């Protein structure tokens, strides 16, 4: 990556104006991922002085600013009350403390990384994204947005729901990217199932969720069937980390375990 100018915006309006002055201009978070790219950037815009570095707890939600680091998310004890701490645990599994002290929520969400250990648990919770121009939208809709219009991610908003959760990142070595990751949550008898690193971006197993949420009792057979439906509907692929077949097998196992865990923990 090559950056010609570095601009510390004082206000969000100023950042947005600068962002649109040149097609190559972009926002820089921790810069850890950007640094690996081969982009040539006229101006990188730093948001650090705008005040998006807080986790604000309101009566009904947590608002996490774009400049908050993943380490701050990991260490936030109030967030750990949501869905058996799956967000804290998810980011805890990303590399070492020295990386998590640097990388930001804004960069991690805006980048829409398919291996993300943040997006998968967040999707299985009740999360919205707030963009400067695009406004507020569910994380699911943000992930589906095709045209990457130039915009600034201001914060994410997580509803305070104390449901049960399960998150598992299957990785080959301690510091590696996920071969597959799975989040399962349960709130008021409703399950959500999300699978990421397939190797494509995290998504809901919609048919499996519909099936399990229509059952009056969660038996071992129902769990088995739900996991089967999930891997039939989801697309898996092959890359250097794992084959399509292996990922399909793994996903089925972890979905089963997730469903069992959030069901058993209730009793």
Partner 1 sequence: MAKIKFTLNNKVVEIEESPTARLLDILRDKYDFVGVKEGCGEGECGACAVLINDKIVNSCIVPLGTVEGKSIVTIEGFSKTKRHEVLRESFEEEGAVQCGFCTPGMLIASESLLNTNPHPTDEEIKIGLSGNLCRCTGYNMIIKAVKSASKKGDGLW
Considering beta carbons, is residue 87 or 94 the nearer one to ligand FAD? 94
Distance CA 252, CA 236 (A): 12
DSSP string for 99-138:
HHTT-BHHHHHHTT-TT-TTHHHHHTS-EEEEETTTEEEE
- Interacting residues with ligand FAD between 197 and 216 (CB under 6 A): none
65: nearest Cα among 77, 90, 48? 48
* Residue 30 in the binding site for ligand FAD (CB under 6 A): yes
* Residue 196 in the binding site for ligand FAD (CB under 6 A): no
* Residue 34 in the binding site for ligand FAD (CB under 6 A): yes
DSSP string for 56-72:
EE-SSEEEEETT-BHHH
Considering beta carbons, is residue 69 or 126 the nearer one to partner 1? 69
* Residue 95 in the binding site for ligand FAD (CB under 6 A): yes
- Kindly tell me which residue out of 83, 115, 166, 254 binds ligand FAD, with binding defined by CB under 6 A: 115
- Please choose which of ligand FAD, partner 1, none residue 236 contacts, taking the beta carbon within 5 to 8 angstroms, the exact cut-off set by kind: none
Q: Which two tokens stand for residue 106?
A: 């804004």
Asked whether 62 and 158 are in contact (CB, 8 A), the reply is yes
Distance CA 177, CA 237 (A): 16
Considering beta carbons, is residue 175 or 206 the nearer one to ligand FAD? 175
Which residues contribute to the site for ligand FAD (CB under 6 A)? 26-34, 47, 66, 70, 94-95, 99, 103-104, 106-108, 110-111, 113, 115-118, 152-153, 177
């Amino acid at each position: 990556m090559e950056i010609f100018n570095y601009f510390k915006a004082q206000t969000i309006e100023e950042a947005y104006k600068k962002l649109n002055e040149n097609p190559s201009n972009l926002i820089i978070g921790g810069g850890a991922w950007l640094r690996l790219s081969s982009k040539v950037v006229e101006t990188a815009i730093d948001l650090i002085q705008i005040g998006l570095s807080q986790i604000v707890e309101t009566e009904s939600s947590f608002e996490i600013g774009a400049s908050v680091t993943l380490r701050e998310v990991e260490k936030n004890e109030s967030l750990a009350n949501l869905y058996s701490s799956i967000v804290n645990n998810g980011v805890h599994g990303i590399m070492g403390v020295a990386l998590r002290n640097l990388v930001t929520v804004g960069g991690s969400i805006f980048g829409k990384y398919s291996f993300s250990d943040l997006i998968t648990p967040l999707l299985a919770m009740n999360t919205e994204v707030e963009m400067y121009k695009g406004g507020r939208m569910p994380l699911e809709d943000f992930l589906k947005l095709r045209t990457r219009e130039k915009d600034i991610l201001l914060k994410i908003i997580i509803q305070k729901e104390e449901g049960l959760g399960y998150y598992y990142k299957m990785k080959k070595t301690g510091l590696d990217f996920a071969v597959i990751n799975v989040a399962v949550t349960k709130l008021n008898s409703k399950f959500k199932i999300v699978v990421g690193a397939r190797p494509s971006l995290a998504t809901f197993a919609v048919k499996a969720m519909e099936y399990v949420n229509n059952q009056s009792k969660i038996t071992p057979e129902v769990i088995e069937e739900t996991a089967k439906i999930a891997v039939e509907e989801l697309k898996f692929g092959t890359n250097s980390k794992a084959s399509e077949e292996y990922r399909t097998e793994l996903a089925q196992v972890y979905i089963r375990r997730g469903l069992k865990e959030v069901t058993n923990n209730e009793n």
